[in-house]
Amino acid sequence: MSMRSLATVAALAGAAFAAPAPAKTTDVSATTTTLLATATNKAFGLNDAAKQAGKLWFGTAVDIPGTGEAQDKFYFREFKSPHDFGEATPANIMKFDATEPEQNSFNFTGGDYFLDVAEQYGKQVRCHNLIWQSQLPNWVNNPATPWTNKTLSKVLVNHVTNLVEHFGDRCYSWDVVNEAFADSPAGDYQKNVWFNNIGPEYVPMAFAAAQKVIEKNGLKVKLYYNDYNIESPGAKTTAALNLVSELKGRGIQIDGVGLESHFIVGSTPSYHQQLQTKRAFVREGVEVVITELDVRATLPPSAAEQTQQVQDYYDSVKSCVDVAGCVGIVVWDFDDTYSWVPSTFAGQGYADLFFQPHGANHPLVKKAAYDGVLEALTGAAEGV
Ligand SMILES: *[C@@H]1O[C@H](CO)[C@@H](O)[C@H](O)[C@H]1NC(C)=O
Ligand SMILES: *[C@@H]1O[C@H](CO)[C@@H](O)[C@H](O)[C@H]1NC(C)=O
């Protein structure tokens, strides 16, 4: 794939529509660097284009209720746009610490609210997540009596059962197990509280518990495994592929794999690597979703890095467009103001498709990367 100039990006994106708004570049002098932005036709957005490409939706993570996002009317207005977002993933409110803060005492208030809002604005929801090593309540991490395989297995099954039962088919899918595999040595299981007490069997155990509720209640909700660094070939990807094949072989339900896709400008896996990996999962008999896409840079990004980001977003989204079994694309938030990146990776940011030149509670501006995504979704030619 060749690099394009930003003017080409805008021209190609515009060419896909009947009445394209003229592309323009906005200089933002308030920031330490000039950020490139374009303006595209508002009446046809990322979600419209994703559906036209045969996908279920283009979606975003959103962190509501009770956060700055919920209070920022400019952010929220963009979130509501059915043209851009047809799916919403709860960034935090369905995680273990939020939903079972005390043992066997469930709090569904925030999760129910999230679903009410998503449904009000016509968005499907990928429910996230059931079993993970992070964002656990203290009672799981520091139990009064040390866990045994038996006592922690009961906790795991109880959590999965209650959440799948409560939220039911309001979830398009559940990320049943999140990030079970380590980066180093790649493909080993993460040595977390679940693994240390239950062993690798905690993963099938979680899927089987969810499956049981689905069968008992006649639900349609799909069961996903979700992880990062499984977007291109490698040991961790092989471990995830083997997990799918093991579960299927044992008759345990798994419907999909979430490829998180938290990328870095310039070291994003190529279109071909991403295409090959998505095809490999689909061949195992599951669907795939890009579940947490963002492309971060060291701040401030140079003009070349901003241009590279357009290409990185394009390659990632195009690799989903070109695989029928890749059913949707979700970004891990769409506005730099609320990105998880700066607080997690010191000195990095600029990861999302929009930014607020004047900060929170001020208008959003689309980056050129937005047009790169739109171009990938509409199938506009990209020098192949
Ligand atoms: C339940 O969760 C909601 C939403 O996060 C929170 O406002 C409320 O205080 C929680 N309730 C209890 C009893 O902890
Ligand atoms: C924990 O118990 C399950 C059965 O409930 C078993 O399959 C698994 O191997 C056990 N794990 C260990 C580490 O013994």
Question: What gap in Å lies between CA 361 and CA 82, rounded to an integer?
Answer: 21
Whether the bond between 185 and the residue before it is cis, its omega within 30 degrees of 0, is yes
Task: Give start and end residues of each alpha helix (H) in the chain.
Answer: 6-15, 46-52, 68-71, 73-80, 96-99, 109-120, 138-141, 149-167, 193-198, 202-217, 235-249, 271-283, 303-321, 341-344, 368-378
Tell me if 38 sits within 8 A of 25, measured CB to CB: yes
| Distance in Å, CA 312 to ligand 1 centroid | 39
Is residue 292 among the annotated active site residues?
yes
Return mean pLDDT, the chain. 91
Catalytic site residue from 69, 292, 375, 382: 292
Q: Which residue ranges have their beta carbon within 6 Å of ligand 1? A: 66, 101, 107, 109-110
Residue spans of the domains in the chain: they are 3-378
Please indicate whether residue 116, judged by its CB atom, sits closer than 6 Å to ligand 2. Answer: no
- How does pLDDT run across 213-259, given as a tens digit for each residue? 999 999 999 999 999 999 999 999 999 999 999 999 999 999 999 99
What amino acid is encoded at 290 in this protein?
I
| Distance in Å, CA 24 to ligand 1 centroid | 45
Where residue 43 falls among pLDDT bands split at 50, 70, 90?
confident
For the CA of 197, the nearest atom of ligand 2: 13
First to last CA, the chain: 6
Closest CA to 207 of 143, 256, 242: 256
Q: Which two tokens stand for residue 247?
A: 């579960």
Lowest mean pLDDT among 9-13, 193-197, 223-227, 231-235: 9-13
- Kindly compute the dihedral angle of the four CA atoms of residues 319, 270, 173, 149, in this order, to the nearest 10 degrees: 150
Of all ligands present, the nearest one to the C-alpha of 208 is 2
Residue 369 pLDDT more than 80? yes
Of all ligands present, the nearest one to the C-alpha of 110 is 1
Residue 33 pLDDT more than 50? no
Tell me which residue has its CA closest to atom 10 in ligand 2.
Answer: 198
pTM for this entry: 0.90
Per the document, the length of the chain is 384
Which CATH superfamily is 3-378 part of? Glycosidases (3.20.20.80)
Instruction: Select from 63, 95, 107 the residue to mutate for testing ligand 1; criterion: most ligand atoms less than 8 Å from CB.
Output: 107
| Distance in Å, CA 286 to ligand 2 centroid | 26
Question: What gap in Å lies between CA 3 and CA 35, rounded to an integer?
Answer: 18
Of all ligands present, the nearest one to the C-alpha of 200 is 2
Give the pLDDT of residue 379. 86
Please indicate whether residue 198, judged by its CB atom, sits closer than 6 Å to ligand 2. Answer: yes
Where residue 169 falls among pLDDT bands split at 50, 70, 90?
very high
